[in-house]
Amino acid sequence: MEEKIPETMTFDETSEPREYAPDELDKKIRELFPGESVNKRLTKTGLLSSRALPSFVSDWLISKFSSGNQLDTLALQRFLDNYLPDKSRAEEIKHRLMSDRARVTILADFRVTPNIQSGEEYLEIPILDVTGKEGMVDPIILDKSPELLNGGMWGVGELVYNQPESRKKDGRIVLKEFTPFRPYQANLDYYRKARSRFSSTIEWIDFLLKNMEYDPHSFEDTSQKMRMISRLLPFVQPRVNLIELAPKGTGKSYVFGRLSKYGWLISGGSVSRAQLFYDISKKRRGLITRFDYVALDEIQSIKFGSNPEEVIGALKGYLESGAYNVASYSAQADAGFIILGNIPISESGRPISNNYFDSLPNFMQEGAFLDRFHGFIEGWKLPRIKVGSIGKGYALNSEFFSEVMHGLRSDTTPAAVVDAYLDVPKDADKRDVTAVTRIASGFLKLLYPQVRSVNEIDVNDFETYCFEPALRMRTIIREQLHRLDEEFPEDMPEVVVKKV
């Protein structure tokens, strides 16, 4: 007997889940962000948990079909059936397009790839398994939404079937109308004003953790919380290059792969210079130029093609200056580069080897390459993600949160504040100083987005929450470089905070 879906489903916030009651932070988020907050408990409903949807899509759906802690499951199910079909219905939808000549509108991830030989733009719709010559797009749409060419984007698309004119021609599914999925715009002034309503830095850190879909109470101390939010640095700061090594199950793939549409996560497989920088044959820009960050996950299983030295060589130039050259093509970008990998841990919870870089592929164990990474995240000091670690109560809609993080990247004021606060020796290593200032600027954006001058932040807060974490993250890189190659000095330069 088929179980009937109730028209509405109420989630009692007093037992969410099992004795969870909204706290003062939940109430503050609802008060300050009435149109941008969402009850994260509702996003775990079975209707959505079985779908591999980005957080910014599932959060929007919950906002659309809920009121308070009540979810209209019947309306949500109808919307999913009509506009966000399960992949198992792909052939049914293609049949409707071909046989019934129906116009089908869906909310999905759309991508367009130019084909140089044919001069056509090929449409890809992963949810419908449409690839290669099966799909095409109206050129007017690309003029309005060039992001479709830059790795694709989510949106509402209207599809029709273009019948072949002869047997020599192929039938195509055509994207005739497209509306980008942009339910929110980043209102940074609004976000900055809201920051002033938070009573302490710790409360704001908890706010960020909830927006990352974690329960702040699942962390042991502030140090753990700071390590977790350090994963957001590439979201807000251009060209921050990080290495995180951790045991499995600490959530690093989720943060970099699901929270923002402006990032790109590669999990295993082969990575080429063409994919990262520029494809000569297709005349297509690579991932580095199209996203805020590119993260390589499961780094031990990633291959850099048949010539890894070529990729490493291109990366060294880019990580240093933000510029790169492929054949006669030259370009600049500001994407951060992140390496994510596993590391063997002892029973005491520490890495088995004191040489952390031993966990990286051999072709990456080059000092000149690793010196270009700004900071290291000790992932083994983070808690393993459990059921109780998942965010509960209210947080910002992931779409709005990602837009804010993306918008903060262009804010140059924090860098000026950091420069004004730091006293740097004249003989200090340039890469060390760049790393510390860049990471400190990122923490300043994350924790104190409202600060516009040195007079607006307490020097002790700056030192504790911006400078010291940045110095520690770079110090680990410096120490590990020395263990890899003694020609690299072990000690960091004596950079200190001025008592302005």
d(CA 379, CA 356): 12
Which range of residues forms the domain containing residue 173? 87-180
Question: Are 371 and 233 contained in the same domain?
Answer: yes
Same domain, 240 and 377: yes
Each residue's pLDDT, cut to its tens digit, for the chain (500 residues) gives 333 334 444 434 333 444 457 789 999 999 999 888 888 777 766 677 667 777 778 888 888 888 767 788 888 888 888 888 888 888 999 988 988 888 999 999 999 988 777 778 899 999 899 988 889 998 889 888 877 886 778 889 999 998 877 665 678 999 999 988 877 778 899 999 999 999 999 999 999 999 998 999 999 999 999 999 999 999 999 999 999 999 888 888 889 988 888 899 999 888 999 999 988 877 778 899 989 999 999 999 999 988 888 899 999 999 999 999 988 889 999 999 999 999 999 998 899 999 999 999 999 999 999 999 999 999 999 998 876 678 788 999 888 899 999 999 999 999 999 999 999 999 999 999 999 999 999 999 999 999 999 999 999 999 999 999 999 999 999 999 999 999 999 999 999 999 86
Q: How many domains does the chain have?
A: 3
The pTM of the full predicted model, rounded to 2 decimals, is 0.83
In a domain, 22, yes or no: no
Instruction: State how far the Cα of 471 lies from the Cα of 400, in Å rounded to an integer.
Output: 30
Give the per-residue pLDDT at 500: 66
52 Cβ partners below 8 Å, 6+ apart? none
- 146 and 224 belong to one structural domain: no
Q: What is the reported pLDDT for 371?
A: 98
Same domain membership, residue 325 and residue 238: yes
CA distance linking residue 164 with residue 45, whole number of Å: 43
234 and 369 in a single domain? The answer is yes
Nearest alpha-carbon partner for 296 in 260, 255, 267, 263: 267
End position of a domain, from candidates 180, 211, 239: 180
- Looking at residue 144, its pLDDT comes to 84
For residue 72, being part of any structural domain is answered with no
Side-chain half-sphere of 75: how many Cα atoms within 13 Å? 12
Domain match, 313 and 258 both: yes
- Inter-residue contact 243 to 287 (CB < 8 Å): no
